[in-house]
Amino acid sequence: MKTILKTGLSVAMLSVLAACGGSGDGDSRPKQLSMLVDFDKGVTGWTGGSADYSPETAPTNVVFEQRALVSPLVGKGYFIGGTNRSDDLFLFVKKQVTGLEKNTTYNLNFSLKFASNVPSGCMGVGGAPGEAVWVYAGATATEPKAVTVNGDIRMNIDKGNQAEGGKDAQVIGNIANGLACGSTAYTSKTVKNEKPQKVTTDANGAAWIILGIDSGFEAHSEVTLQSVQIDATPATL
Q: What is the pLDDT of residues 169-226, one digit of tens each?
A: 999 999 999 999 999 999 999 999 999 999 999 999 999 999 999 999 989 999 999 9
Q: Which pLDDT score, from 0 to 100, does residue 179 have?
A: 97
> Could you give all domains of the chain from N- to C-terminal order, each with its CATH number?
39-227 (2.60.120)
Taking residues 129-155, report their average pLDDT.
97
Q: Tell me the whole-structure pTM to 2 decimals.
A: 0.89
Q: Which pLDDT score, from 0 to 100, does residue 202 have?
A: 97
The enclosing H or E element of 105 equals strand 105-116
104-124 tens-digit pLDDT: 999 999 999 999 999 999 998
pLDDT tier, 73 (very low <50, low <70, confident <90, very high otherwise): very high
